[in-house]
Amino acid sequence: MAHMLCNCGNKLSDVEYPSPNCIEFFYEKDILQALSADPNITLWDFTSDYDKGTNIWFCNQCGRIYIFDNGSRMWSKKYRKLDISDISITDNAQMSKFYILSDVDIEKVCTDNEQITLSKYFASVMKPNLYFCDDNKGTIYAVNPQNNNVVYKYNIED
């Protein structure tokens, strides 16, 4: 249980559960692997068993993301959200697709329907697709799945 102050002045905390500041990060390849092993795996079982090793906090005021590696008490990376409008992603071969769920999302979905399967949940999600770019800059792009336009991106902030 901890708390910290974001650069924007917002207080982030994981004291309450579900925390609006804690998010989970899932690579598409890991989701596909889990579905291959068990097509009926529930969202709850998948998120509970997923090997995290990393804590990710999200500022619900300015959109910054803080990444803490392996239980460290000091963030290792900090991302700043930038709005973008006219960039389109046509070649995502250098990118790894992933999904983010907040603790609040997981709790709400699993409380409303505890047996919802992983495949049914992700088939119904209409959030932007997220891609981690392997460009040595660690850029993250949020892409509209309907037209492949970049909605916003995250850059590592010093």
Instruction: Give the per-residue pLDDT at 90.
Output: 58
For the entire predicted model, the pTM comes to 0.74
Residues in the chain predicted with pLDDT less than 50, given as ranges, are: none
Closest CA to 91 of 150, 38, 7: 150
Q: Answer yes or no: are the C-beta atoms of 78 and 65 closer than 8 Å.
A: yes
